Amino acid sequence: MSGQNTQLRNVYAEKALEQIPRLLSLQDRNRYSPTYGCFKRAFWMDKTVDYHDGLPQYGSLSLALAYTQNMPGNIFKDQEKMREWTIAGMKYWAKIQHRDGSYDEFYPNERGWTGPTGFLLYGMMRSYMLLNERGDFPETFRDEFFSAARRSANYIIKYDEHGVLANHHAMAVLPVFYTYHVLQDPSLLEGYEKKLADFMQYHHEKEGWSLEYDGADIGYLSATVSFLGKVYKLNRDERLRKVMEEATEFLSYFVYPNGFYAGSMGSRQTLHFYSHGCEILAPEMPLAGRVADALLVSLKEGKIVPAAIQSDRYFLYRIPEHLESYLDFGERRGEAKLPYERADFQKVFPESRFFIRKRGPIYLLGNAAKGGVIKLFDVESKKLLLNDCGIIGETTQGDVLTSQWVNNEYSFEHSGDSFAVSGALNPVPMSKTFTPLKRIVFVLFMLLFGWHTRLAYYIKGIIRKILVFTKAKKDVTFRREVALSDQLLRVRDSIELKGNTTFSSLQIGDEFFVRYVPQSAYFQSQEFDAKGFFLSEEQLAMLNEKKSIVLEHTVDLKRGTMGNLIVIS
């Protein structure tokens, strides 16, 4: 391994190990406490929440990896207390399990599927394997642990969830196989095949992406590659490798010249990159190694969402992902170029509705499925020239409407170096928050009725529909036309009011996130390079009175500057 690769590889370990003190500070390490091993500090110490969700116990895997593995700067290796705290976390996981094998994440009696239960089962099985191969797993806990693992695996096999999240289906494949690998129960191997078949329904092999609610999400696609890669590491199933290669090719288009990744281009607007799958695939697919290297530099430079800025709920995912990426750092064989590094091309993905153009130093991406979200880069200067998430505004009736919403009723046209998208603006469900009274009523309802697995399943489906999905408001329509020439990128937006709706505020462009996705909306420094336009009072009056307006803004490709928003008609 070259010196440069060694230095890059070490970034994984550094970024993860620096978070172990934070993780240990979240854990109840008092062996005489009734919550010994619990990683939910807000529950056992702060007393600001009244239930212990299961997901924090995923922290056990990070402790197990730090305790058992040689890594640069790892002061936690072979520390007996680390072994004790790892096992304490695993025992608390078994203690708080529901009788059906499930765990809660966001509220009591949620009985979440792979979001909490699958992640936890993988974390526990991997931790068991790490400890057991050293003879460090307590024999007195083995039967209880295996029983809890079997219950969780059977729960994952039996159920699914409302709304298609392909990465959750990939996460179902992962822990079920690991449980089979340890227990060698043929029924679990059958469960693995069942869960893999379920996942395959949501993978678009022609384009390489997997469905996240209603479209392709690039951040979560890397998670899918990672989850399947962890299985592929133990089980060289060619079906897994094929999906991983297809997905890696697709997501490579969204590794940007300025070092950032994914974001508002995707259906769930996530910014994170799960690296472990690309590291596992790197020896067999040079492009996977190139993607991993590019985004490892980005991680070093703070351009990939680091654990340090994530909440206690989600930084748990980053630590073992980085540690396992370090341990399985793949040999780089052959050369590969990222799409923006290649010769000029135009690529249209008709199913996911992405339009991508490399032309000289210009790299343009558009997502028509989200109303024409645009990113424009200068490859030579590695500069973001335009970040335009479309139209968003507030009506005088108090609704927030946007074009940045995945809608299969949008029309998508493309010709040469231009594309257009048109449809109706969508209301944004942004104001749904708990009040103390609503919270009390909700928790009481879940305590009374959430004990029933099927009922809990339907309740969660209703919650998702309220928070995530919405229908277009037919009386406000738009058309966005994007055209690339030698000198300019031209973006023209036409808005038409067909009913009584009028606007009190309207914005064109800039970076903004509108969908409820807890693992999104993290700050990135490139937000300072994004610019939006707010319609003036005169322009708003024109729209409200004439019921239509046509607006245009441009980017000078030679100078790399953005023009003002002008009214065409």
HSE toward the beta carbon, residue 151, CA cutoff 13 A: 18
Cα 502 to Cα 395: distance, rounded to the nearest angstrom: 6
Indicate the pTM of the whole model. 0.95
Cα 179 to Cα 185: distance, rounded to the nearest angstrom: 8
**342: CB partners within 8 A, 6+ apart:** 358
HSE toward the beta carbon, residue 17, CA cutoff 13 A: 19
Cα 273 to Cα 63: distance, rounded to the nearest angstrom: 22
Q: Return the beta strands (E) in 425-543 as ranges.
A: 426-427, 476-484, 488-497, 503-509, 532-534
φ, ψ (nearest 5 deg) of residue 373: -60, 135
For position 263, what pLDDT does the model report?
96
Q: Which CATH number fits domain 3-327: 3.30.497.10, 2.60.40.10, 2.40.30.10, 1.50.10.10?
A: 1.50.10.10
**220: CB partners within 8 A, 6+ apart:** 165, 166, 167, 212, 266, 268, 270
For position 468, what pLDDT does the model report?
66
pLDDT in tens, the chain (569 residues): 666 788 899 999 999 999 999 999 999 999 999 999 999 999 999 999 988 899 999 999 999 999 999 999 999 999 999 999 999 999 999 999 999 999 999 888 889 999 999 999 999 999 999 999 999 999 999 999 999 999 999 999 999 988 899 999 999 999 999 999 999 999 999 999 999 999 999 999 999 999 999 999 999 999 999 999 999 999 999 999 999 999 999 999 999 999 999 999 999 999 999 999 999 999 999 999 999 999 999 999 999 999 999 999 899 999 999 999 999 999 999 999 999 999 999 999 999 999 999 999 999 999 999 999 999 999 999 999 999 999 999 999 999 999 999 998 999 999 999 999 999 999 998 667 888 888 888 778 888 877 777 777 778 777 767 766 666 667 999 999 999 999 999 999 999 999 899 999 999 999 999 998 988 999 999 999 999 999 999 999 999 999 999 999 999 999 999 999 999 99
Q: How many residues belong to the chain?
A: 569
Cα 150 to Cα 185: distance, rounded to the nearest angstrom: 10
The amino acid at residue 143 is D
CB 312 within 8 A of CB 19: no
**498: CB partners within 8 A, 6+ apart:** 474, 475, 476, 477, 547
CB 229 within 8 A of CB 280: yes
Cα 365 to Cα 354: distance, rounded to the nearest angstrom: 7
What are the pLDDT digits (tens) for 513-546?
A: 999 898 899 999 999 999 999 999 999 999 999 9
**213: CB partners within 8 A, 6+ apart:** 163, 164, 165, 267, 268, 406, 468, 469
Closest CA to 268 of 524, 532, 526, 518: 518
Cα 406 to Cα 469: distance, rounded to the nearest angstrom: 10
For position 43, what pLDDT does the model report?
95
For position 433, what pLDDT does the model report?
80
CB 28 within 8 A of CB 40: no
Place of tokens 């930084």: 315
Q: Is 192 helix (H, G, I), strand (E, B) or coil?
A: helix
For position 472, what pLDDT does the model report?
64
CB 305 within 8 A of CB 275: no
All structural domains of the chain with their residue ranges: 3-327, 343-428+471-567, 436-468
For position 143, what pLDDT does the model report?
98
- Residue 247 tokens read as 């997905």
411 burial level (CB within 10 Å; 0-12, 13-18, 19+):
exposed
Cα 417 to Cα 401: distance, rounded to the nearest angstrom: 29
CB 103 within 8 A of CB 55: yes
CA distances from 273 to 306, 370, 485, 555 (A): 10, 21, 33, 29
